[in-house]
């Protein structure tokens, strides 16, 4: 199968691409840095971006399937019209190009943040209402992007939408925001924790579901890919167990976390580093559903998420192998 992929250099792509190559597929990857990529007989690089119609058409022409991983990600409190445009218009342009090129399958990677999380202690599945939030937020861009992808299913494109929860795991080369948190917690560089938690899913299990969606599943459907809800306190405790040294950090009350936001932003501006947290990241922690149901993906995409403890241990071992941890 010839597969066109956007966002192949990201965390999910880094886990997915080797699996696809091992299965014998030929890949065509969209890249913004063609000079860094030489290609092989199984990998072709197309220079461009999500807002360039010509590069997207080159990407999908002759492809049997498209996997749309690319998206701008942000937990910044500021509204970002450019992010919204890249994520939404980029999805529309890619789906349009795929439809015109008679692509057989279009696998769109969305996010659990596209769904309304409340009520937080009640089972949440694909029938849950989609989120209604700020116009140019990241979360709303995921709502609109998956709506656009599913709209093209009505035009005849065989679209499947996969919505993972918070993705962690090995092959996190950049690393991601969650990867950085793991490294900092393990190294003792985080002074306190925020309340709440999120559902974590292993990047390798997400990659497996994507591969299954190339031939299985039902076009026009959305599939939640969840793993295990873990509080930040438990997250930290498990890292301590793996490290062999207990991690005991205070949990900052929500009111104090919000009160300290101006100081956090000021310090980030002085140091040039990303802020330790934002209002959005705190909201995501305290307003996350604890019972996200992945039974549809299990039934139709053979999705079998591994235990969180296994994922965390493998992730830390991977960071050690790469020299990010000692």
What does DSSP say about strands 159-164 and 197-202: parallel, antiparallel, or unpaired?
unpaired
Tens of pLDDT, residue by residue over 7-39, are: 999 999 999 999 999 999 999 999 987 655 656
| Homologous superfamily assigned to 2-173+199-228+290-306 | NAD(P)-binding Rossmann-like Domain (3.40.50.720)
Q: Pick the closest to residue 164 from 226, 107, 222, 221 (CA basis).
A: 226
According to the model, what pLDDT value does residue 265 have?
81
Q: Which of 166, 241, 162, 151 is nearest to 196 (CA)?
A: 166
Q: Roughly what angle, to the nearest 10 degrees, separates helices 232-243 and 177-186?
A: 50
What pLDDT shows up at residue 152?
97
Q: What is the DSSP letter of 38?
A: -
Cis-peptide into 128, omega within 30 deg: no
Q: Which residues of 19-48 are buried (b: 16+ CB within 10 A; e: fewer)?
A: ebeeeebbbbbbbeeeeebeeeeebbbbeb
Which tens digits make up the pLDDT trace of 110-169?
A: 999 999 999 999 999 999 999 887 678 888 999 999 999 999 999 999 999 999 999 999
Among 247, 241, 244, 245, CA closest to 310: 241
Q: Cα–Cα distances in Å, from 71 out to 32, 78, 242, 303, 316? A: 13, 17, 32, 23, 26
Output the tens digit of pLDDT for each of the chain's 326 residues: 999 999 999 999 999 999 999 999 999 999 987 655 656 789 999 999 999 999 999 999 999 999 999 998 877 777 789 999 999 999 999 999 999 999 999 999 999 999 999 999 999 999 999 988 767 888 899 999 999 999 999 999 999 999 999 999 999 998 998 999 999 999 999 989 999 999 999 999 999 999 999 999 999 999 999 999 999 999 999 999 999 999 989 999 998 988 988 888 887 778 877 777 888 888 888 889 999 999 999 999 999 999 999 999 999 999 999 999 98
pLDDT in the model for residue 38: 58
Q: What is residue 276's predicted lDDT score, i.e. its pLDDT?
A: 76
> According to the model, what pLDDT value does residue 37 have?
60
Q: Rounded to whole angstroms, how far apart are CA atoms 176 and 184?
A: 12
């Amino acid at each position: 199968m010839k597969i066109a992929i956007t966002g192949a250099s990201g965390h999910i792509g880094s886990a997915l691409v080797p699996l696809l190559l091992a299965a014998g597929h030929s890949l065509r990857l969209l890249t913004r840095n063609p000079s860094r990529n030489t290609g092989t007989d199984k990998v072709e690089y197309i220079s461009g971006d999500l807002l360039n119609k010509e590069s997207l058409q080159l990407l999908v022409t002759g492809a049997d399937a498209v996997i749309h991983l690319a998206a701008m990600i942000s937990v910044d409190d500021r509204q970002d019209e450019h992010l919204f445009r890249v994520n939404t218009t980029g999805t529309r342009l890619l789906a349009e190009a795929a439809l015109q090129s008679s692509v057989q399958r279009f696998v769109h990677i969305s996010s659990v943040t596209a769904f309304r999380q409340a009520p937080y202690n009640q089972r949440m599945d694909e029938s849950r209402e989609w989120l209604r939030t700020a116009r140019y937020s990241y979360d709303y861009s995921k709502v609109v992007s998956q709506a656009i992808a599913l709209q093209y299913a009505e035009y005849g494109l065989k679209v499947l939408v996969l919505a993972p929860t918070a993705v962690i795991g090995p092959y996190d080369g950049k690393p991601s925001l969650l990867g950085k948190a793991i490294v900092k917690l393990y190294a003792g560089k985080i002074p306190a924790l925020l309340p709440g938690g999120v559902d974590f899913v292993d990047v390798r299990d997400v990659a497996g579901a994507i591969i299954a969606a190339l031939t299985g599943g039902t076009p026009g459907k959305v599939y939640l890919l969840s793993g295990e809800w873990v509080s930040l306190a438990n997250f930290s405790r498990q890292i301590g167990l793996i490290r062999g040294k207990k991690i005991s950090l205070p949990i900052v009350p929500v009111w104090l976390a919000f009160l300290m936001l101006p100081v956090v932003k000021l310090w980030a501006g002085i140091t040039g580093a990303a802020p330790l947290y934002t209002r959005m990241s705190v909201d995501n922690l305290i307003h996350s559903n604890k019972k996200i149901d992945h039974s549809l993906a299990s039934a139709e995409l053979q999705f079998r998420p591994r235990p969180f403890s296994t994922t965390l241990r493998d992730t830390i071992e991977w960071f050690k192998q790469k020299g990010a941890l000692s």
